[in-house]
Amino acid sequence: MGDSAIVVRGLRKRFGDLTALDGIGFEVSSGTVFGLLGPNGAGKTTVVRILATVLRPDEGHAEVLGRDVVRDADAVRRRIGMAGQYAAIDPNLTGRENLELIGTLTQLPRSAVRTRARELLERFELTEAADRPTRTYSGGMRRRLDIAASLVGTPPVLFLDEPTTGLDLPSRNALWQMIRELVAGGTTVLLTTQYLEEADVLADRIAVVDHGRVVANDTPANLKASLGSTVIELGFADGVADRAVALIGARAERDGSVVRITTDRSTAVLIETLRTLDAAGIAPERLTVREPSIDDVFLALTGHRAQADAAASGGSS
């Protein structure tokens, strides 16, 4: 890749006994959306914080638009915007004052501070609430203002750390639309998410992160193709699941009383499976047909569940 906006190589970071990053590496092409997909604790936020110059890596190298995030931190800061997991705004300032403060601290000239704040308030539909303290804002409004704040400096590289967590559906869709527009205008976006759907819809490439390492790095289409497009889950009464797995054969995967089949040919496989089971006199108690989830991606790529608590509850059901 000759035109990488972000280069990350062999990053390591420990917090006490916890290894947050274990040699993670990837590159992001200019003007694309790159999704870091993984569960809580995978190290996604740590990567973003290092790239945003907020945290220093223990080892490894990271650069944004050719500037080293440690040695040339100030130049990096002039080229990035960051919106974290929670709205980092001052509740005592109005929406406008928040944006103007960030504008000043972003080193915009005085006149640009004003116009930029006004533009962004309009753009994020906050003009009406612009002169109210943000303490009075709803969660969605605060989130919008937070993302507006990350765009004050018109950054060519934008980091969005789980931007849609806690957003309702219309706000989420509006944000997705906005991200697409930014990218169309040449912005490079690094996005972290726990949702496969979000990565799938937005990202040109996805890196699946687990335990501080990249376990897969590909286009969404390729990742899903390697996984199979549909998941069929059959729930059985106690003691029946084993027999069902034996009947269905190699493609079945057992998880407690649930038997899971991942396939590209859902209809055919479903009919075939139910016939086989019926012939043996077995009827599943529950049946689910769905898109692959983050859990499924994880199971397939890492051999373990994304969330430890999901595994615990899955075993007992």
Instruction: Give contact residues for other proteins (rule: CB under 8 A).
Output: 49, 52-55, 74-75, 77-80, 82, 84-93, 97, 101-102, 104-107, 109, 116, 119, 123, 133, 135, 149, 151, 153-154, 156, 181-182, 185-186
Question: What angle is formed at CA 238 by the lines to CA 295 and CA 309, rounded to 5 degrees?
Answer: 30
Minimum distance between the CB of residue 58 and other proteins, rounded to whole angstroms?
14
Nearer to other proteins, 108 or 277 (CB): 108
DSSP state of 82: E
Return the closest-CA partner of residue 97 out of 114, 77, 78: 114
Nearer to other proteins, 42 or 50 (CB): 50
**Which residue has 């047909």 as its token pair?**
289
Element (DSSP H or E) covering residue 34: strand 33-37
State how far the Cα of 50 lies from the Cα of 69, in Å rounded to an integer: 7
CB environment 160-184: b (16+ within 10 A), e (fewer): bbbbbeebeeebbeebbebbeebbe
Minimum distance between the CB of residue 192 and other proteins, rounded to whole angstroms?
15
Minimum distance between the CB of residue 124 and other proteins, rounded to whole angstroms?
11
State how far the Cα of 77 lies from the Cα of 90, in Å rounded to an integer: 20
Minimum distance between the CB of residue 127 and other proteins, rounded to whole angstroms?
15
Minimum distance between the CB of residue 170 and other proteins, rounded to whole angstroms?
21
Nearer to other proteins, 5 or 214 (CB): 5
State how far the Cα of 262 lies from the Cα of 252, in Å rounded to an integer: 8
Nearer to other proteins, 77 or 305 (CB): 77
Minimum distance between the CB of residue 196 and other proteins, rounded to whole angstroms?
26
Nearer to other proteins, 53 or 273 (CB): 53
Nearer to other proteins, 166 or 256 (CB): 166
Minimum distance between the CB of residue 154 and other proteins, rounded to whole angstroms?
5
At 30 the three-state DSSP class reads: coil
Nearer to other proteins, 69 or 269 (CB): 69
Contacts of 190 by beta carbon, 8 Å cutoff, 6+ apart: 6, 28, 33, 34, 36, 48, 51, 157, 158, 159, 160
